[in-house]
Structure 1
Amino acid sequence: MPESFHDAMQALFTGDADALNPWLAAGERSRAGLSIYRNTVASARADALSGLVPTIQRLVGADWFRSAALAFAVEHPPQSPVLDDYGRDFPAWLAVFPPARPMAYLAPVARLDLAWSLAHRCEDAPALNASHLAGMAAPALFASRAVLHPSAQIFWFDWTVPSIWLSNRPDAETVNSVAWTDTAEGLLIARPGLAVTQRRLSRSEWVFLDACRHGRTLGQAATAALGADPYADLSQIFADLLSAGVFTRLEPEPPRP
């Protein structure tokens, strides 16, 4: 017997029709009511997932997505009453979901959808801009660490995942064909203000940001970016990233002992 009523309800939702017997009076009327409740809960979970990964639904269609969302809900019940957090395991689940195997792009696209939702809910923080750096000497700037904005997330794929995601977002004018090719692409998702933004990243930009998120100084990040592309315009890269609101503050490098 389940340890608690909550456990019994969860068992009911995952297919154990007898899980609630210790708490129910005999009779089919109670069971019919529970069936309706179970369907309502499953539907709410599917609706929550569709709000978190809308690009997936647009790519596969409402019926396919609904079936997948209901199957996911059975295997991965929410771990929190906050449904905004629901679905974090969906990309990994989708990667091994048999009907999705011919569409290998779905799992990484789901990752980007969840990243967008995370940025949307992220805490507010100021965005560093060029005016904050006015009068700062170059040696001090290069020795500083640029801290990424809390909402900023960077991605690098060996495939055209960002192109598929960007062209099939809910705000895209028309659903575009899927071009799943082995062209490497980078992407930045952030919410430095009121709205979530996304932009493509060159390899040198991604390497620069990756160094920053791992605590490297701007000088070290610049060196890494030049390693990725010896012809990269570092001044332009830094200016573009500042304009994108990807940083929240500068931290001086601690003095060496």
Structure 2
Amino acid sequence: MPEPFHTAFADAVAGRDAELHPWLADADAGPLAVYRNTVAKGRIDALAALFPTIERLVGQDWFRDAALIFSRAHPPVGPVLDEYGAEFPAWLATFGPARDLPYLAPVARLDLAWGEAHRAADAPVLDARAVAGVPTDRMFAAHAVLHPSVRLFDFDWTAPSVWLANRPELQTDAEPVWDRQPEALAIYRPSWTVEARRLTPAEWRLLDGCRRGSSLGQAALLAMGREPGLDLARLFSGLVQAGLFTRLELDAR
């Protein structure tokens, strides 16, 4: 638990100078202003590092002004700024100056997911050789466990296209168009680098079923309901090779 002075000092840095009066009744506000500027800059810099796609879309000045407003209302709850900004996407959706930029909030969710995938626990990637040779009945009863870094998204609009075209590490040559068209995306880190993979509707259904704890057979039914005549073996093999799973849990026999 923070000591009373530390709590009062944090309140004073946030603008509530009176909280420090029991210790520094005649404190000069000048030094506190220096601390306030340092704290504000640290939070803004952290948000810029965590949401680089948003900064690229709106420009540095717009972003830093918005980040300052956000940071005043949402101070960090812990010392690790890598985990800061969880509320930022939802806040952008209600931020007046972003009213005409409806893609900002969903794109911010993808930036947030990139950071989560980057920090996710290390885990082995399912080897395709571990899948080969498993009888079909056992395969359908098995549970394919997603890699802990996997973050899945299914949008009604083209947020993934906008994000992929503007994320510094993942920029494509495609011209992003904000349109009412469904798109699904997986963000994950199978080894040392965060990756992004566009998903077909059938891939999304299968992965979402696995995420919810369905067996492969149940997840396959969901996928085939979206795409009749689906080559399920090819689809699953592609997802395994991409590194989206960490293990296959077979029923005991």
Map 1:207-226 → 2, pairs under 5 A: 207-226=205-224
Q: Mind listing any 5+ residue stretches in structure 1 that lack a counterpart?
A: none
**SS of 1:22's equivalent?**
coil
**SS of 2:22's equivalent?**
helix
Which amino acid is the alignment partner of residue 11 of structure 1? D
Q: What's the TM-score, normalizing by structure 2?
A: 0.93
Q: Which moved more, 1:13-22 or 1:177-186?
A: 13-22
CA shift, 1:173, in A, is 5.6
CA shift, 1:102, in A, is 1.0
CA shift, 1:138, in A, is 1.2
Backbone CA RMSD of aligned residues? 1.9
Q: What is the match of residue 48 of structure 1?
A: 46
Cα distance between partner residues in 2 of 1:73 and 1:36: 17
CA shift, 1:155, in A, is 0.5
* 2:13 and 2:35 in contact (8 A); partners too: no
Cα deviation code 1:155-203 (max 9, x no counterpart): 0000000000000011356897652110000001111111111010011
Q: What is the match of residue 244 of structure 2?
A: 246
* 1:164 and 1:179 in contact (8 A); partners too: yes
Q: Is residue 2:77 matched to residue 1:79?
A: yes
**SS of 1:186's equivalent?**
strand
Q: Percent identity?
A: 54
Which amino acid is the alignment partner of residue 70 of structure 1? L
Which amino acid is the alignment partner of residue 23 of structure 2? W
Map 1:125-164 → 2, pairs under 5 A: 125-164=123-162
Map 1:72-221 → 2, pairs under 5 A: 72-171=70-169, 178-221=176-219
Which amino acid is the alignment partner of residue 69 of structure 2? A
CA shift, 1:233, in A, is 2.1
Q: What is the match of residue 63 of structure 1?
A: 61
**SS of 1:115's equivalent?**
helix
Which amino acid is the alignment partner of residue 45 of structure 1? R
Which amino acid is the alignment partner of residue 92 of structure 1? A
**SS of 2:209's equivalent?**
helix
Per the alignment, do residues 171 and 196 of structure 1 end up closer, same or farther by CA in structure 2, a change over 3 Å counting? Answer: closer
Number of positions where the alignment pairs a residue of Structure 1 with one of Structure 2:
251
Q: What is the match of residue 17 of structure 1?
A: 17
Cα distance between partner residues in 2 of 1:27 and 1:177: 55
Per the alignment, do residues 13 and 34 of structure 1 end up closer, same or farther by CA in structure 2, a change over 3 Å counting? Answer: closer
Q: What's the TM-score, normalizing by structure 1?
A: 0.92
* 2:145 and 2:245 in contact (8 A); partners too: yes
Q: Mind listing any 5+ residue stretches in structure 2 that lack a counterpart?
A: none
* 1:217 and 1:253 in contact (8 A); partners too: no
Cα distance between partner residues in 1 of 2:113 and 2:222: 25
Cα distance between partner residues in 2 of 1:229 and 1:173: 30
**SS of 1:154's equivalent?**
strand
